[in-house]
Amino acid sequence: MSLKGRTVLITSGPTREYLDPVRFLTNASSGAMGFALAAAAKRAGAKVTVVTGPTNLEPPPGIRVVKIETALQMRRETLRRVRAADVIIGAAAVSDWRVAKTAAHKIKRNGSPLRLTLIPNRDIIKDAASLRRPGQLFVGFALETRRATAHARGKLERKGLDLVVANGPESLASGRISATLVAKGWTRRLPQGPKARVAKIVVAESTRLLNERRA
């Protein structure tokens, strides 16, 4: 199935939430899944933009890359592009919380416990889907440690998505992934495989759903 003439927007990688100028909260996401999705969408003929957190990976050729660090930056750069995209895929491992106030200088150790106040970040894919225009398709990821399919179906409905890819934390630092696709009315379990292969399937299913919507 072709995405020729279509625009795909993908969020990818981790975010960094700074405690002070030299320390931050983050996670083990490498950005490999987001880049694999970008490569698959590009091969399908789409014009692709990736909003990515810090990664050591080289992006696929022919992809527009927007580099960010924090969840707030990712949200801003995603929402300013969402209306122009046909398919929006939220594959980033965005931090659910950020530090309430980042220290202006390095926090020095003084022998006492350090207490941090964390405040929630906005849900980027949910906010993006709230701006939906007719004909758009929204895909989310659900990284869970238990009841992944059930949580994915909840996110599908709660966030107004069309497809959710459920997976576990073992995929974060690996080149392989085991995933379940969850859509309205159906579930599809994918065998564990390279992220590139799973990305191809996700893009193919997204294309099919997009074409069904526009038929």
Determine which helix (DSSP H) or strand (DSSP E) holds 98, and give its type and residue range: strand 97-99
Assigned token pair, 207: 């294309």
Determine which helix (DSSP H) or strand (DSSP E) holds 164, and give its type and residue range: strand 163-167
Q: Which of 148, 184, 147, 146 is nearest to 165 (CA)?
A: 148
- Quick: pLDDT tens for 103-127: 999 999 999 999 999 999 999 999 9
- Quick: pLDDT tens for 29-86: 999 999 999 999 999 999 999 999 999 999 999 999 999 999 999 999 999 999 999 9
Domain ranges of the chain: 7-102+116-214
Euclidean distance between the first and the last CA atom of the chain, given in angstroms as a whole number: 14
How far apart, in whole angstroms, are the C-alpha atoms of residue 197 and residue 33? 10
Q: Mean pLDDT throughout 156-183?
A: 90
Letter for the amino acid at 108?
K
Instruction: Tell whether the model's pLDDT for residue 135 goes beyond 70.
Output: yes
Instruction: Tell whether the model's pLDDT for residue 174 goes beyond 80.
Output: no
Least confident residue range of 7-16, 39-48, 163-172, 191-200: 163-172
Instruction: Tell whether the model's pLDDT for residue 213 goes beyond 90.
Output: no
How far apart, in whole angstroms, are the C-alpha atoms of residue 11 and residue 93? 9
Instruction: Tell whether the model's pLDDT for residue 145 goes beyond 90.
Output: no
What is the structure's pLDDT at 170?
79
The model's confidence at residue 25, banded by pLDDT at 50, 70 and 90, is very high
Superfamily of domain 7-102+116-214: CoaB-like (3.40.50.10300)
Mean pLDDT across the chain, nearest whole number?
Answer: 94
Name the pTM for this structure.
0.95
The model's confidence at residue 1, banded by pLDDT at 50, 70 and 90, is low
The model's confidence at residue 214, banded by pLDDT at 50, 70 and 90, is low
The model's confidence at residue 175, banded by pLDDT at 50, 70 and 90, is confident
What is the structure's pLDDT at 86?
97
Q: Which residues are catalytic?
A: 27
